Amino acid sequence: MSEYLIDGGVPLDGTVKASGNKNAALPCIAAALLTDEPVILRNIPEIEDVQVMFEIYAALGGSVKPLEPNTYRLQLGDITSSVIPIAQAKKIRASILFAGPLLARTGKVVLPPPGGDIIGRRRLDTHFLALTELGAKVKTGETFTFNAKSLTGADIFLDEASVTGTENAIMAAALAEGKTVLTNAAGEPHVQDLCQMLVSMGAHIEGIGSNILSITGVKKLNGCDFTIGADFMEVGSFIGLAAATGGDLHIEGTRPQDLRPAKVAFGKLGISWAHEGTVIHVPRNQPREVNCDLGGMIPKIDDAPWPGFPPDLTSIITVVATQVKGTVLIHEKMFESRMFFVDKLIAMGARIVLCDPHRAVVSGPSRLHGSELISPDVRAGMAMLIAALCADGKSIIRNVYQIERGYEHLVDRLAALGARIVKNGS
């Protein structure tokens, strides 16, 4: 098992380029099943989750050919199977994204329970609701089986604004007969990327970016040449990295409009940035002090579906809060196990009171010291890495596979910014 060896306490400075959005790349790979024509996807991050999605696509009858770094040509021959391979399905939650396209193309899907980060209960009900409304029949057991003689557009109110549930519904509806209206749909930038890709393939989608999507089905979709947008979760992580270590960082290739919710939240900690075009600059000289609410009240940073503060950045901003002056309440409303990693921060010297599975009160600044850590999931793992980089002394982080599932060539990119980090193992 590979691990990171880190000698912290050094501000990170320099320039880093944003990778493509992992959470856009995964549904776009699944969407390549919707056409027999070639699909070229650009700005694909070179990470483990993407490789697993490619393996599933190939197992279903597709071919994947790298054209140049971060660019791939996907071509579907005959769909040879409607069964998602169990070995790959249990590695990533995104394996469920093949359900909508397979159902639309073959009328049948056999899906093992998807894997992914262990951050609390992650419902699949929204997927079943949407696909059932479109005409599928679902059987549950050790695997989930979907069958549909045909798919027909429907007026669907999603029971929650599930990102992957919305994406599955969009992909299935793109080839359904008639019009589908999705209300309470997710509107995150990665959902928008999927919609824009499908439009470039000939799909009819209105309301992109809103919580009401209207999809008029077509009989056939074409191939496309599509570029994935920047990963605003990764950009937010690098902003947190600069803020926590007291560094000066330029981040290239971003979409600043995707960072507006994060800018509000980081602003409560006295952290800001400027942008020129697609380049974000996080300066060294920051107030790094909590901005109290009116009347001197302790402010709250809480996550929410888009356009709220992204839940995937909750772990990151918790670490940043340990390094700024003042007290803030972090409220993770969406996953009941995501905040449990803070006990590791407390062991490193952070002053945090975990009120319950969803709320933590953080008082700073705290002088952190190196520790031995185990990454529980991709975002908490990155948060631990940021904590180790701003801590005094040496740290070891194990199970770094979980971090590298979401961050491309991370060690090399951090080392280029001045981080004292080495990876052991393969």
Please give the average per-residue pLDDT across 317-330, as a whole number.
Answer: 98
For residues 365 and 419, membership in a common domain is answered with yes
pLDDT score of 122? 57
The mean-pLDDT minimum among 22-26, 121-125, 135-139, 200-204 falls in 121-125
> Which has the closest alpha carbon to 42: 28, 62, 61?
28
Predicted local confidence at residue 120, as pLDDT? 41
Question: pLDDT grade, residue 119 (50/70/90)?
Answer: very low
pLDDT tier at 73, thresholds 50, 70, 90: very high
pLDDT above 90: residue 62: yes
Report, as an integer, the average pLDDT of 117-142: 79
Range of the domain at 361: 3-19+230-424
CATH code for the domain in which residue 57 is found: 3.65.10.10
Same-domain pairing of 223 and 241:
no
Tell me the C-alpha distance between 62 and 88, whole Å: 15
| Helices and strands in the chain: count of H runs, count of E runs | 14, 23
> Are 397 and 299 contained in the same domain?
yes
Question: Is-above-0.95 flag for pTM?
Answer: no
Same domain, 154 and 204: yes
Lowest mean pLDDT among 10-14, 37-41, 331-335, 406-410: 331-335
Using CB atoms within 10 Å of the CB of residue 318, give its burial: 0 to 12 exposed, 13 to 18 middle, 19+ buried.
Answer: buried
Computed over every residue of the chain, the mean pLDDT equals 94
Which of residues 178, 197, 227 is at a domain's end? Answer: 227
User: Which of 49, 117, 231, 258 is an active site residue?
Assistant: 117
- What pLDDT shows up at residue 320? 98
Of how many residues is the chain composed? 426
Active-site annotation holds for 117: yes
The residue from 227, 248, 276 where one domain ends is 227
Does one domain contain both 302 and 167? no
Q: What pLDDT does residue 121 have? A: 47
- pLDDT, residue 116, reads 54
Report how many domains make up the chain. 2
Q: Would you call the peptide bond into 27 cis, given omega within 30 degrees of 0 as the criterion?
A: no
More confident: 282 or 87: 282
In terms of phi and psi (left: phi > 0; alpha: psi -120 to 50; beta: otherwise), the region of 126 is alpha
Across 285-292, average pLDDT: 94
Of 202, 227, 252, which marks where a domain is finished? 227
Rounded CA gap, 337 and 115, in Å?
16
Comparison of pLDDT for 290 and 334, the residue scoring more: 290
Q: Are residues 216 and 245 in the same domain?
A: no
Q: Which residues of 191-229 are buried (b: 16+ CB within 10 A; e: fewer)?
A: bbbbbbbbbebbbebebbeebebbbbbbeebebbebebb
Same domain, 413 and 365: yes
> Does residue 207 share a domain with residue 241?
no
Residue 426's pLDDT is: 66
The arithmetic mean of pLDDT across residues 212-224, rounded, is: 97
